[in-house]
């Protein structure tokens, strides 16, 4: 129910149950751990077969195997999560697939599958959650894991980058339409993150190219992305919506002279000072 125009609608308290898609993956599980550490009950859904096992390591964790691109399966997983842990107030879409191929070699099936998992599933999930939150009159937090690839083109990222660009706009759209109900919608856009998957798909040349372009001169860590998600899901982020938070070591701000700045810093940096986070 909306306000009358002169008085903003005041939603009920934010339920402290989170649902995370892709929760059994390296980055998704780091997000689940961080949300659990903040006192949230966490339901994780993933296409992998070890979801329940990983969820069992969390306090008040609940896990379900689900192909998020299957509307019926996603609807069942959402309903079972509510039954198991109570009303959901935080929804994080971290599930995603990456395909790397030149545009001229990208087949339509790969493009469609990438869009279905990265964008279509987000649409279905956030619509389920949004309708639920509005019906209950409760506050909500919707967060998508997008990517710098959704804003800047990268070689071979036609399907992946296009899907992430669409996801960024989807969150902007949700912030507009769901904001009057007390529901925020934001994106977290990581740069390259050091995960088992990235170590597998990034060639040495790609990795070196990233590091030359990132002012901090390194890949990000899973926990650094998880902290950003936890902030946007927290009560402290009540007035933040429609935003894309880049967790990228300065990549999106970089222009000419990154390598020169890195070289100058190397000369001036005191001996023994670490560049990597503690």
Catalytic residue ranges: 160
**Sign, CA torsion 217/218/220/224:** negative
Query: What do you get for the CA distance between the two ends of the chain, in Å?
Result: 47
Residues 6+ apart with CB under 8 A from 245: 186, 187, 188, 189, 228, 232
Secondary structure (DSSP) of 174-236: HHHHHGGGTEEEEEEEE--B--HHHHHHS-HHHHHHHHHH-TT-S-B-HHHHHHHHHHHTSGG
Nearest of 263, 199, 195, 265 to residue 225 by alpha carbon: 195
The pair phi, psi for residue 140, each rounded to 5°, is -150, 155
The pair phi, psi for residue 190, each rounded to 5°, is -75, 155
Give the integer Cα–Cα distance in Å for 194 and 18: 25
Give the integer Cα–Cα distance in Å for 130 and 91: 10
Give the integer Cα–Cα distance in Å for 252 and 191: 9
Question: How many C-beta atoms lie closer than 10 Å to residue 269's C-beta?
Answer: 11
Tokens in use for 181?
A: 């109900």
């Amino acid at each position: 129910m909306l306000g009358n125009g002169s008085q903003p609608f005041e939603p009920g308290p934010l339920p402290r149950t989170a649902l995370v898609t892709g929760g059994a993956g390296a980055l998704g599980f780091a997000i689940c751990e961080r949300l659990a550490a903040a006192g949230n009950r966490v339901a994780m859904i993933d296409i992998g077969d070890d979801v329940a096992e990983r969820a069992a390591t969390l306090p008040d964790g609940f896990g379900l195997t689900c192909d998020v691109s299957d509307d019926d399966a996603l609807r069942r997983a959402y309903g079972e999560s509510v039954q198991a842990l109570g009303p959901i107030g935080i929804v994080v879409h971290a599930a995603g697939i990456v395909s790397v191929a030149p545009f001229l070699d990208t087949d339509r099936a790969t493009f469609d599958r990438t869009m279905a998992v990265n964008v279509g599933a987000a649409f279905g999930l956030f619509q389920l959650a949004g309708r639920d939150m509005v019906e209950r009159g409760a506050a909500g937090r919707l967060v998508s894991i997008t990517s710098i690839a959704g804003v800047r083109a990268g070689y071979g990222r036609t399907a992946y980058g296009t899907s992430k660009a669409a996801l960024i706009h989807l969150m902007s759209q949700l912030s507009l339409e769901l904001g009057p109900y007390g529901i925020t919608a934001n994106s977290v856009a990581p740069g390259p993150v050091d995960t088992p998957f990235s170590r597998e798909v990034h060639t040495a040349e790609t990795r070196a190219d990233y590091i030359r372009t990132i002012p901090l001169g390194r890949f990000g860590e899973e926990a650094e992305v998880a902290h950003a998600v936890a902030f946007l899901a927290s009560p402290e982020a009540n007035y933040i919506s429609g935003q894309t938070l880049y967790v990228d070591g300065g990549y999106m701000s970089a222009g000419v002279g990154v390598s020169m700045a890195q070289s100058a810093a190397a000369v001036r940096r005191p001996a023994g000072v670490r560049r990597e986070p503690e």
